[in-house]
Amino acid sequence: MFSYTLSKRQTRTSKQIVSGNATLRLIDGNRIPLFGLGLYEVDGSSWTTRLVKSAITMGYRLFDTAEVYENEHELGEGIRKSSVAREQVYITSKVYTTEGGRRQVLDCVRQSLMQLMVDYIDLYLIHAPQGGHVLDAYDTLHELRNLGRIRSVGVSNFGISHLEVIRKSGRPLPVVNQIELHPFCQQRPIVNYCRRHGIALMAYSPMARGAALNDPFVLQLARKYRRTPAQILLRWSVQNGFIPIPKTNHLSRLKENFQVFDFRLSANDMRQLTDYGYQQPMVSGWNPVSNTTSQFGAIY
């Protein structure tokens, strides 16, 4: 039977999560909340500002956006209109393509800071190993980290081959790898690689973009625990030590998704859901973890 390889620190974390405000210490020394709101496909409108403000009131502290989402400004507005200080909110954003190398990253981060109306961004990711010049972009993000424009540097949709290029070059490892993760898309080799090297795993599409909500076994567990299917899937992610960032446009679901810290799936149910999902693989969106070296760019 398969089980993820967890470090002692990660094992402790997955057992001790008691609230949505719990945090994990990243390998660069900074801390990140263990649950967040994803803003993919959330319109750049006044509703998004209201959604973010409401999420903060409910207890959310981590928000994930990107230049390509076109809602950084609304996220910033929601934070400004909330009752909490900027320092209490954790912002993640991303550069979509590294085609323009260093100059593109500088421009992208500058635009993100302006749109978000903040002095720094907590975590900045390379959205995917695509467009070439990935190492140039990665080095530029570390320059910006040294200047205080961003606090931590991470990646998204990176496979083992991409992470190995960074490691073998002697560069600092990314503190986070954001990939699709749920019972039906477990990406076990990447997960175990990241855990061996202390890279935190942020789980996007933790409910398979809704495709897993009507699965018979998930529904069976939902009835057993008197929870919603979404809460079962999110709890699986939490207990695996991932950082889930479910997205929603609905206030009721925003609240529902956050209410996963007052129950636990039994060890047996965790094993059964993991084994069941592994036998029925499903990728709900793009998955560029297998992008080629030519898409990654020069290696040096």
Structural contact between residues 174 and 200, judged by C-beta atoms closer than 8 angstroms: no
**DSSP one-letter string for 125-185:** EE-SS-SS-HHHHHHHHHHHHHTTSEEEEEEES--HHHHHHHHHTTPPPPSEEEEE-BTTB
Q: Per DSSP, what are the bridge partners of residue 202?
A: 178, 243
Q: Which residue has the tokens 């965790």?
A: 270
Which of 224, 284, 223, 234 is CA-nearest to residue 256? Answer: 234
- Per-residue DSSP letter, 185: B
Q: 69 catalytic, yes or no?
A: yes
Which of 135, 175, 186 is CA-nearest to residue 27? Answer: 175
Say how far residue 193 (Cα) sits from the centre of its chain: 17
Considering the candidates 69, 138, 193, 204, report the single residue annotated as catalytic: 69
| Alpha-carbon torsion (23, 42, 154, 290), positive or negative | positive
Q: What pLDDT, on the 0 to 100 scale, is given for residue 206?
A: 97
Give the C-alpha separation, 243 to 230, whole Å.
Answer: 15
Tokens of 272: 């059964």
pLDDT digits (tens, 9 = 90+) for 172-228: 999 999 999 999 999 999 999 999 999 999 999 999 988 999 999 999 999 999 999
Give me the tens of pLDDT residue by residue for the chain, a chain 300 residues long: 233 444 444 444 445 455 777 999 999 999 999 999 999 988 888 999 999 999 999 999 999 999 999 999 999 999 999 999 999 999 999 999 999 999 999 999 999 999 999 999 999 999 999 999 999 999 999 999 999 999 999 999 999 999 999 999 999 999 999 999 999 999 999 999 999 999 999 999 999 988 999 999 999 999 999 999 999 999 999 999 999 999 999 999 999 999 999 999 999 999 999 999 999 998 877 778 888 877 888 776
Task: Tell me which fold the domain 24-279 belongs to.
Answer: TIM Barrel (3.20.20)
| Alpha-carbon torsion (25, 14, 95, 49), positive or negative | negative
Is 197 annotated in a binding site? The answer is no
C-alpha gyration radius of the chain: 18
